[in-house]
Structure 1
Amino acid sequence: MSTLEMVNPATGEALGQLAEATPAEVGQAMIDAREAFAQWREVPLRERLGYMKRLREIIVDQASELAKKISQDTGKVQLESLMSDIYPTVGLIRYYEKKAPSILKRKRVPMTIALFGRFSHVEYRPMGVIAVISPWNYPFQLSLAPVVSALIAGNTVILKPSEVSPFTGQVIGELLEQAGFPKGVVQVLHGGKDVGKQLVEARPDKIFFTGSSATGKKIMAAAAEHLIPVELELGGKDPMIVFADADLDRAVNGALWGGFTNAGQTCMAVERVYVEDAIFEKFVQQLVVKAKALRVGRGEGRDVGSMTYPHQLKIVEEHLKDAVDKGARILCGGRRLNEETLHFEPTVLVDVDHSMRIMREETFGPVIPVMRFSLESEAVQLANDSPYGLNGSVWSKDLHKARRVASRIESGNICINDVMIGIAHPALPYGGNKESGMGRYHGPEGLKSFSHTVSVVTSPGRKKREINWFPYSRDQYTAISELLKDLYGKSFRPSLKGLIKVGTEFFRSK
């Protein structure tokens, strides 16, 4: 049996081991989840929300200890674990506790004149077993957000946390157990790519994956073999456009946090900054001064923690080398603090262009490349010149201009004079365009995306036949022709003559 080594990337400290799930265990988990689904889907929504309330309260009661454990697992500073992993998770749960009944309730839909006499509604039914495959950068939030959404909608869930951050996955399993969910309703399977592949091959009813675009494509291809719906929350290369009339101090501070929080390992991180010519030099000067002042390390009093995954640090170094080889200049940072841990200095570079990997591929590290522009149209073109479309931001005191530019950015999420904050609002849908993925979660969409939307039409059933049924007649043709003209023609107002003909045919069909 294979094991996962749990190590603190900021210290090298061993945190223990976890056994990887075997193929037999994956198969049994699916059997258990399907059996549990038959009962869980029938549990009233108010009772399902009771489990969520209990989970939320447990998380809040243990928040400080949980933040410490997440930091040990990922290397991020403890404030970020509390602020960016735990806080939005409980916020989302609380939002659904209040809003889920109205989101998932049956909705009456008015009938058209042509379907007079019938009634219709839409209802949201659970899909079945949901496989959630979560990432390592925000392993708490990005695991529990889809898990609780799927559970509230009446599904059962199998969660496979990232093998890079298994300690947090273990912690989540313990929390779910404390919340007292019935057997098989939510299960945690640990392991790497093989376990993820086995989970997909076990044919869940939906797959929710958060991670790289490359892996997302493989999962989608495998799911297509069995027409399993997928939701993909993938990578980003998020642009930040700063106009000359922006509040310079706020824009610099926004870039600083947007680029360096969680050591830059955020899919919504600021990875490309475009600054208008008139303020380019001032912006860069202030950004470098403030980047150099950031306190990197571990423990209290630090701003930037370590990176989490050695392979990702290697990618950062490769991107920087490629940029420098092609003419970019590193103004600060650009190196590891030491060889024993994964701390990397906050880095700012200029003289970049779109021929460089650092402007095209997801870097996912504490690096901010800054490029100048002259015209609004140029800024939009540069921002959209990317295979990704997850998040972006526009900075200007002229809100009319900022909204105009924001409306032209090809992205699932946009901020104006702010960065990355959309995901913190539980009522807003979150997701990407292009290679940043498909589907949305959070907000009303976050429950409906884990539901089958079903339309139901009810007839009183008192007539022997309907106007459109056999046998066909000339009067039937005339009546429908009149209705077509009156309802959908130039006048858009039904005539008395047309309605009389339709009514005559209607009553004749009874």
Structure 2
Amino acid sequence: MVLVAVNPATGERIEEIEETDIGKVQTFYENSRRAFSRWSGLSLDERLGYFRRLKKVMAEAMDEIAKTVSLDTGKVPTDALVSDVMPTIESIEFVLKHVKKSLSPQKVKTPLLLFGKTSCVEYMPRGVVLVISPWNYPLQLAMVPAVSALAGGNTVILKPSEVTPLVGKLIESLFQRAGFPEHVLQVAHGGKEVGSAFVNGKPDYIFFTGSVKTGKIIQKAAAEHLIPTTLELGGKDPFIVFADANLERAAKGAVWAAFTNCGQVCMSAERIFVEKSVFPEFVERLKEETRSLVLGQGEDADIGSMTFPGQKEIVREHVLDALARGAKLETGEHPDRWTEDSLFVKPMVMTNVPLDAKIMKEETFGPVLPVVPFETEEEAVKLANDTEYGLNASVWSNDLERARRVAAKLVSGAVVINDAVISVANPHLPFGGAKNSGIGRYHGKDGLRIFCHEKALVIDRGRLKREVQWYPYKGTYPLFLRLFQSYFGERKNWFAFFQSFLRLMKRN
């Protein structure tokens, strides 16, 4: 079987890519485990040499990469470059600068009973990591977890989305150009059946980015074999605008946060809540900004096409449901007027949207922006938290104390004040969600450590004949009692402490 790469903006068939034979799943794992013994045996400096070459290859091929992403997804080239290519290279740079410190043994304190010993935490690779990535940011959301896993000494099997196979093929090529050893990173092309086969192939770790529905299926399969997972799932992110905010900036930010990548972003602003006193003015600003956007394919366009035809149908369903419940379409076109064979959808601003409409409850993942008024700070927080998701949020106010107060009350993996979405672009910050938005975090030092086993290590020089708490116990209870009471009491009694300690030590 083959996967057909289609340019969603034009419908043009670009290339056919051979789908991975499910019968070869175990061969992939065997190759990966053999490569693991060699790759994990390299020093960290030796592994980092490969990442330096990968960064160089990507920097030199940046235009090629951005245009391939644009061709495969329908997004405009600027979006591909700024939001997909750049964060990927930034993450490689983060690995180069911080992986040594993050994965080196970490010395920790040693408690009283282990006096004289050294305690530390070491990090060892898990083995074979399965990365299953989505189609909306097919480069970044595949390569960042893959690079993080590889840096720790793991090998990776990447199953990119079948919707964007060109990028999956490109990723394979980039690692080959950088000279990575054979089978350290393998790419398996295909759809749900291929992904399911690799999940059931018993990897040592699964990193999945995608829908809540698929994430639950993967989590259930992983639980059968106690395979640890990180799940980066959906979002229904709130965007809260207070009356004292810079309304011009907030309106421009809302339009970008809602419509970048044609709204196909898990961190999109999918629900806008605006303080009632400035609601009419803010809606007019949103309409003006939205109508100025240029749809197209070229470098000067703002919004490209949607990527996946099935997602367009979800957007249609949500919009029609809202309109049937009395919502008003302020910009864009009624779904009845959409061109059936085109994935270009004019961005929509909607008002008078009922809070129980699908567009307020379910992830829309498209170019739609519902706007709802609120009266009080407490109401804004309640509206924002009224969702099964909790990935990202943004708060807009010139009163930073209030903005921080509201941010603290939002059940969300990230909150951005007077900006939106961009927390994911900082590789030093953890990324992940609450509630149905997922399990676990990546990015930052913990994003490197999740792909490693934590190993507790206690070191003793071995000079004493025995430890004070070893057998025999005869005569030790009153000494231990006095030792602990003198140390943990309200006031430390150092004389009694050392006296008890020395008497215990004399047993050696």
Task: Report Cα offsets for 1:283-319 as digits up to 9, x if no partner.
Answer: 0011012111111122232111000000000000000
Residue 490 (structure 2) pairs with residue 490 (structure 1): yes
Aligned residue pair count = 506
Give me the whole-angstrom Cα distance separating, in 1, the residues matched to 2:489 and 2:388.
43
- Structure 1: distance between partners of 2:195 and 2:50: 27
**Equivalent residue for 1:459?**
460
Contact 1:205/1:229 (CA < 8 Å) preserved in 2? yes
The 5-angstrom pairing of residues 23-38 of structure 1 reads 23-38=22-37
- Paired residue for 1:385? 386
Could you list the per-position Cα deviations for residues 236-277 of structure 1 after superposition, in whole angstroms to 9, with x for gaps in the alignment? Answer: 000001000000000000000000000000000000000001
Q: Which residue of structure 1 lines up, in the alignment, with residue 213 of structure 2?
A: 214
In the alignment, residue 442 of structure 2 is paired with which amino acid?
Answer: Y
**CA 1:458 to 1:300, structure 2 compared with 1: closer, same or farther past 3 Å?**
closer
**Whole-Å Cα distance in 2 between the matches of residues 479 and 240 of structure 1?**
62
The alignment partner of 1:389 has SS state of: coil
User: Contact 2:486–2:496 (CA<8 Å) still a contact in 1?
Assistant: no
- Which deviates further from its counterpart, 253-262 or 120-129? 120-129
Q: Does 1:40 align with 2:39?
A: yes
Identity of aligned residues (%): 49
Deviation string for 1:432-453 (max 9, x for gaps)?
1111001111111111111111
Answer yes or no: is 1:478 the counterpart of 2:478.
yes
Code of the aligned partner of 1:255: A
Gaps of 5+ in 1: none
- The SS at the match of 2:369 is strand
Instruction: State the alpha-carbon separation in 2 of the partners of residues 186 and 484 from structure 1.
Output: 53
Distance 1:80 1:12 in 2: 20
Aligned match of 1:94 = 93
1:392, 1:413 within 8 Å by CA — same for their partners in 2? yes
What displacement does 1:110 show?
A: 2.6
Counterpart CA distance in 2 for 1:483 and 1:127 is 41
Q: 2: distance between equivalents of 1:254 and 1:20?
A: 40
1:339 Cα shift? 2.6
Distance (Å, rounded) in 2 between the aligned partners of 1:184 and 1:496: 63
Q: Which amino acid aligns with 2:4?
A: E
**AA partner of residue 376 (structure 1):** E
Q: Which residue of 1 aligns with 2:183?
A: 184
Q: How does 1:78-117 map to 2 (within 5 A)?
A: 78-117=77-116
3-state SS of the aligned residue for 1:311?
helix
Aligned partners of 2:133 and 2:326: how far apart in 1?
37
SS in structure 2 opposite 1:187? Answer: strand
- SS in structure 1 of the partner of residue 226 of structure 2: coil
1:503 and 1:437 map into 2 onto residues whose CA distance is 53
| 1-structure distance, mates of 2:172, 2:339 | 34
Secondary structure at 2:271 match in 1 = strand
Aligned to 2:343: 342
Moved over 6 A (4+): none
Corresponding residue for residue 133 of structure 1: 132
Partner of 2:246: 247
Aligned to 1:408: 409
Residue deviations 1:427-470 (CA, integer Å, cap 9, x gap) = 11111111100111111111111111111001222223222222
- Residue 337 of structure 1 and its aligned partner are, at CA, apart by 5.4
Whether the 8 Å contact between 1:479 and 1:498 is mirrored in structure 2 is no
SS at match of 1:407: helix
Please tell me the residue identity of whatever aligns with 2:438.
Answer: G
Whole-angstrom CA distance in 2 between matches of 1:419 and 1:121: 39
Q: 1:4 maps to what in 2?
A: 3
Equivalent position SS for 2:393 = strand
CA contact (8 A) 2:35 2:155 kept: yes
Distance 2:173 2:299 in 1: 27
Residue 367 (structure 2) aligns with: 366
Distance in 1, matches of 2:191 and 2:240, equals 38
Q: Which is worse superposed, 101-110 or 461-470?
A: 461-470
Question: Contact (CA 8 Å) 1:106, 1:123: kept in 2 or not?
Answer: yes
Does residue 49 of the first structure (1) align with residue 48 of the second (2)? Answer: yes
Letter in 2 for 1:486: S
Contact 1:127 1:205 in 2 (8 A): yes
1:275 aligns with 2:274: yes
Task: Decide which moves more: 220-229 or 316-325.
Answer: 316-325
Q: Is the 8 A contact 2:325 2:354 kept in 1?
A: no
Q: Is 1:326 aligned to residue 325 of structure 2?
A: yes
2:67 alignment partner in structure 1: 68
**Equivalents in 1 of 2:144, 2:49: separation in Å?**
17
In 1, Cα distance between equivalents of 2:281 and 2:488: 60
Moved more, 291-300 or 361-370: 291-300
Q: Deviations over 1:58-89 (max 9, x none)?
A: 11111111111111100000000100000000
- 2:487 touches 2:497 (CA, 8 Å); kept in 1? no
Is contact 1:233–1:438 with CA below 8 Å preserved after alignment? yes
Displacement of 1:180 in angstroms is: 1.1
Q: Shift of residue 494 of structure 1?
A: 4.2
Structure 1: how far apart are the matches of 2:119 and 2:378? 47
SS at 1:218's partner residue?
A: helix
Deviations 1:361-412 (CA, angstroms, capped at 9, x unpaired): 1000001000010010110011111110100000000001000100111011
Q: Is the 8 A contact 1:483 1:494 kept in 2?
A: no
What amino acid sits opposite 1:274 in the alignment? Answer: F
Shift of 1:471: 2.1
Q: Distance in 2 between matches of 1:486 and 1:264?
A: 63
How many angstroms apart in 2 are the aligned matches of 1:339 and 1:482?
82
